[in-house]
Amino acid sequence: MPLKLADEILRKTTYEEKFVKFDFADDMEDTDVIADAAITSSPTGTGHIVCGSPSKSGTIIQTKVTSGTANTRYTVVCKVTTVAGEKLECSGYLDVKAS
């Protein structure tokens, strides 16, 4: 499920490994493409979620999210730069519960 708004909440257990998608279609011109992407999350540190390297397909950026501390809400942020030079940001929440 693609994240679009900061108030959207996804859920996973400490065991699960899930793919999270960020869709920038509504924010980009039809002729523009994503040149670069970076994914961050907070809080960070030992035992918290790990976001894999982002992959891109058209206007969508995807990352694999693993680990996490039970009963913790994380903010996951995706920042992209387009070929036209725009800088766009999309974020959402990820709640982790015990397995």
pLDDT per residue as tens digits for the range 3-12: 554 557 899 9
In percent, the amount of the chain with pLDDT more than 90 equals: 84
The pTM of this model reads 0.89
Distance CA 50, CA 24 (A): 22
We report the CATH number of the domain holding residue 34 as 2.60.40.10
Q: What's residue 67's pLDDT?
A: 96
Total domain count, the chain: 1
Angstrom distances, CA of residue 89 to CA of 5, 31, 48 = 10, 19, 22
- At 22-39, the pLDDT tens digits run 999 999 999 999 999 999
Range of the domain at 22: 2-97
Unique residue bearing structure tokens 């960070």:
44
The pLDDT value given to residue 9: 86
